[in-house]
Structure 1
C-alpha cells in the first residue's frame, strides 16, 4: 500500500501543485474506499488512481482563484526531505507546474497522465470518463498552449546549475545591475508569491533591465544581510535566503541550455517554505 500511496500522492501533487492539499485528497480517497463495498471492485490500484485524479481535478476546479499577495506559485519540494513521498522521476519540473496553471484542470490532468505517466489515450479516457478522441483533443489543446508560451525543458547538469547560482548570488550581493543583466535572457520573467500574509514588492516583472533593477532593490532592502544556501527543488536549481533557522525567501531558477536565466520564481509564502526547512 505504501507504493500505491506514493503514486496517488504524485498524481495529486502534479495536478494541484500543493503537497499538503494532495495529502488531504489522497487520505480522503483512501478513507472513502475503506468504507465502500469492495466486492465488485476488480482492481484496487486502478480504482484508487481514478478516484484520486478525479478528486484532484474537482479540487483544482474549486480553487482556481487563489487570493494571495503576488502571483500564486506551486509549493516547491525537495527530494532530500525524508517526508517527501512523491516519486521523483514522475514529479513535474517546477517550471512545468507553473505553466500548467494556464490550463484548465482536465487539460492539466490529461497532459500529466500522458507525459509523466505514459498513459495511452484509452487509459486516460477510462480514468477520466471521457472518449479517447476527447483525450487527444485535450492533449493537443494543452500542448498548443504550452508551445505558445515556449516551454522547452532544457537539461542542465547539476554542476552547471550550481555555477550559475553562484554567479547569480554574487551579482545580487554586489548590487551590480549590469552584471545581473548579463545572466538573464532579454524577456526574463520573475514572479513572486507572498501567500496570504506577506506582501511582495511586485507580483510579476518582465524584461532584463526591469528585472535586474527589481532584484537589486529586493537584495538591498530585504536579503542583503541574510545567509544563503544552494539547493535543487523540483529538478531545478534554487537559492534559499535564511532568517535565523527559517527560510525567508526562495528563488527557483529556470535556466536555458546556454546557461541564461529565463524565469525566476520567488517564493516568500511561509506556508510553502515550511517543508523545505
Structure 2
C-alpha cells in the first residue's frame, strides 16, 4: 500500500490542484478500501487509481476554489525536495495546472490521464465509466480550450531567474522590463489574509513597476533561494525559516512570459526553507 501512495496522490493532485485535497482524497479512498470486502477485486492498483481519480473529479466538481485576495492558484510543489509526496515525472507543470482551471473536472481528468500518464482512450473510458468516443471528444475539447489560452511547452531556464534577481535587487527597472515579454501576465494569490492585486496584470511596463515596488516594500531584506516548482523555475523569499513569497516564472525565448506570485501563508507552508 505504501508503494502506491505517491502514485495515488499524484493523480489526485493533478486533478484538484490542491495538495491538501489530494491527501484527503487518497486517505478517504484507502480507508474505505481497507474496510471493504475486497474479494471481487482482481487488480488492487487499478482499483485504487480508478477510485482516487473519480473521487478527485467529484471533489473538483462540487468545491469552489477561490481566494479572497487575488486569483486562486494551485498549490506549489518543490520538486527538488526529497520528501515530496508526489512523483516528479508525472506531476503537471505549474502553468498547465493554472490553465487547466479553465476546463471542467471531466475534461481535466481526461487530459491528465492522456497527456500525463499516457492512457489510451479505451483505458480512460474504463477508469471514468464513459464511452471511448466520449473520452476522445473530451480530450479534443480540452486541447482546444488550452490552445485558446496560447499554452505551449515551456523549458526551464534558471539563468533568467538570476538576471531577474539582479535587476530587481539593483532597482534596475529598465533591465527588469527588458526581461519581460510585452504582454506578460502576472497573477497573485493572497489567500484569505494577504492583500494583492485583483485579477491579472498584463503588460511589461506595469508588471515591472509592480514587481519592483513589491520587492522594495516587502522582500529586499529577505533571503531567497532558486528552485523548481512543478517543472518551472521559481524564486522563494524567506526569513527565519518562514516563506513569504514564491514567484514562479514561465519562460519563452529567454524572457518571462508569465509570473505567478504566491503569498498565501497556507500554500507557502508547503515549501521548506533551505
TM superposition score normalised by structure 1: 0.95
Against the structure 1 CA distance between its residues 81 and 65, is the aligned structure 2 distance closer, same or farther, given a 3 Å change threshold? closer
Pair 1:125-2:125 in alignment: yes
Equivalent position of 1:217 in the other structure: 213
Against the structure 1 CA distance between its residues 65 and 93, is the aligned structure 2 distance closer, same or farther, given a 3 Å change threshold? closer
Tell me, yes or no, if the aligned pair for 1:73 and 1:193 is still in contact at 8 Å.
yes
Count of residues in correspondence between the two structures: 272
Cα deviations across residues 199-223 of structure 1 (Å, max 9, x unaligned)?
1144420111111111111112111
1:21-100 correspondence runs (5 A): 21-100=21-100
Once the two structures are TM-superposed, the CA of residue 243 in structure 1 deviates from its matched residue by: 2.7
Against the structure 1 CA distance between its residues 203 and 218, is the aligned structure 2 distance closer, same or farther, given a 3 Å change threshold? farther
1:97-246 correspondence runs (5 A): 97-156=97-156, 161-246=157-242
Give the ranges of 4+ consecutive aligned residues of structure 1 lying more than 4 Å apart after TM superposition.
Answer: none
Alpha-carbon distance in structure 2 between the residues aligned to 1:65 and 1:167: 34
Once the two structures are TM-superposed, the CA of residue 6 in structure 1 deviates from its matched residue by: 1.3
Alpha-carbon distance in structure 2 between the residues aligned to 1:130 and 1:72: 30
Tell me, yes or no, if the aligned pair for 2:234 and 2:249 is still in contact at 8 Å.
yes
Cα deviations across residues 126-154 of structure 1 (Å, max 9, x unaligned)?
11111000000000000001111111112
Cα deviations across residues 3-47 of structure 1 (Å, max 9, x unaligned)?
211111110000011112111110000001111111112221111
SS of 1:276 mapped into structure 2: coil
TM superposition score normalised by structure 2: 0.96
SS of 1:39 mapped into structure 2: coil
Tell me, yes or no, if the aligned pair for 1:11 and 1:53 is still in contact at 8 Å.
yes
Kindly report the root-mean-square deviation, in angstroms, between the aligned alpha carbons of the 2 structures. Answer: 1.3
Tell me, yes or no, if the aligned pair for 2:155 and 2:232 is still in contact at 8 Å.
no
Cα deviations across residues 42-88 of structure 1 (Å, max 9, x unaligned)?
22111111110000001111223424311000111112323312111
Equivalent position of 2:5 in the other structure: 5
Alpha-carbon distance in structure 2 between the residues aligned to 1:154 and 1:198: 30
Alpha-carbon distance in structure 1 between the residues aligned to 2:143 and 2:255: 24
Once the two structures are TM-superposed, the CA of residue 91 in structure 1 deviates from its matched residue by: 0.5
Identify the range of structure 1 (136-145 vs 243-252) with the bigger mean alpha-carbon deviation.
Answer: 243-252
SS of 1:152 mapped into structure 2: coil
Give the gaps of 5 or more residues in structure 1.
Answer: none
